Amino acid sequence: MENKTENLSIKIYGEPILRKKASEVKEIKEDGLRIIETMIDVMFANEGIGLAAPQIGIGKQIIVVRNDEDIIKLINPVILKKEGEEEAKEGCLSLPDIYVDVKRAEYISVEGRNEKWEPVIIEAEGLTARILQHEIDHLNGVLIIDYTSPVSEVLVKQQLKKLRRL
């Protein structure tokens, strides 16, 4: 069986693509569908719960998110509405072994397109809302370390130096 993920490893902190705003997808074609399937494979291979295209070196506005037994596939996602606020520790496949307290909305409404290029609106709360916000941040070049408090920033910077040496 062919390994679809062998050439698409997770981009680690320090890779420039992680800080760039991803390009809007104009239409979905066969290559776009392949990207989505590859993203799902890479997410599962790395035991992730969400993945944004820039994390595998593709500067397109595409995310995939595990949601119970289903997988949300969103193209050009935009947050329409946020409600409430909760803080929780988050990790990231692009920042291995780094966990940061991040405040996120408890409930969100997100508009985008699915893999059939149909417009969709996803309403989510709890963990799914958190994952969606995290992955949409990736599309805008925002990482969890951007949420660190000044107190924990020193520790995180030490951990980031180790990552850059890998």
- What is residue 135's predicted lDDT score, i.e. its pLDDT? 98
- What is residue 80's predicted lDDT score, i.e. its pLDDT? 98
Query: pTM for this structure?
Result: 0.89
Number of separate domains in the chain = 1
Give me the active site residues, please: 135
Beta partners for residue 100, in sequence order: 90
Residue 54 located in a structural domain = yes
- What is residue 1's predicted lDDT score, i.e. its pLDDT? 28
DSSP string, 9-38: PPPPTT-GGGGSPPBPP----HHHHHHHHH
Residue 33 located in a structural domain = yes
Beta partners for residue 82, in sequence order: 108
CATH number of the domain enclosing 77: 3.90.45.10
pLDDT tens track of the chain, all 166 residues?
233 444 568 999 889 999 999 999 999 999 889 999 999 999 999 999 999 999 999 999 999 999 887 999 999 999 999 999 999 999 999 999 889 999 999 999 999 999 999 999 999 999 999 999 999 999 999 999 999 876 666 677 777 777 666 5
Residue 26 located in a structural domain = yes
